[in-house]
Structure 1
């Protein structure tokens, strides 16, 4: 079983500074001609259960399963490009995984101002680097919505280290927004709003629920790695949450 899925099955019973963001390589991975923007959140149903919709928390959990299951630690966007492909790929065990993760109260969890999102990501990178971990994921809870964040430390053949943060929003099911930087210090200047896949239909929701609000960040790591996050957010100068 995938590492994240196995871990969840074990626990089931029981401020943004001024910076020129263009310098930091903010990118969308969606190619418009190949994958038009789609929203499957709330549009599909659990196989054999037409009364149970697949919503953001289920899609976010599936995305995290893919992060840990795939060899390259990357969900394959093609699996999220249509209802047919998504339902073929979707694991029904994702139904309870996000709620189980939140209930498990993992180390490193916190509630932060959306504007301080980058500060938390930088703190996680510090712990990852000192513990030799190259990838981690977390569930993001904003008001009534769930998203996923993926952090990756990549060492290039040229001897450079790249810090990559990707935020996946199930409301734009076949895309993610990511930044890549050679400096952890640059990462801390980002707000969650910088990662929102905003178009007209999502603009009001983002302005109401992200730009001046809080985000709960719930790390999703294999159980043996969770302890490395102990005290990670305690080192951030308060107040972290608004």
Structure 2
């Protein structure tokens, strides 16, 4: 990953930085991701860019306590690495919506991700949300609306609930990435579970990152989960 280098501070609100070359990702993702209409090199470039962005997101969060907010394709360039033309480099042009995250919130995210990775039960995950998210936001256990329904909602999100409502059989497909985050926040609100501003900032930043990565590489679902395992898997 690369960033524009600061050259001078024109004013408290304006800084002069280096001009960076590359192909804007907004141009890249305009082309549909189909093997029949793309060359192998273009497919590889898009997959590489998605993986690099996903790794950058988690490294900034877990190692530097920074939530990479406002990530969009128009703020990212893709180019060949200056020291190796066989490799690609991602350039982040603007990071104005980044937020410093406190260590407690980072630990909460790591603990919840670890629980999901090891296959924790819906009740265990629910209790973790109540203690690490709801409790830190000032919520009390008695404020939760229909606790059993809350645990069932988590089971549904994880793809463990049978399709009884539609008369189908089997289990639902697990939600991942941005969709899982969005549905999770909806479930929290519907059951009166609170979330701090810091938790919401991290979740919103992850949704934006997943959106860009999944448009680059739809087949790997944005590779945000795989990148999380690469960055933090040894601690789970």
Which band: TM-score by shorter chain?
under 0.3
Quick one: higher RCO (CA 8 Å, sep 6+), 1 or 2?
Answer: 1
* Higher Rg: 2
The answer to which structure has the higher helix fraction is 2
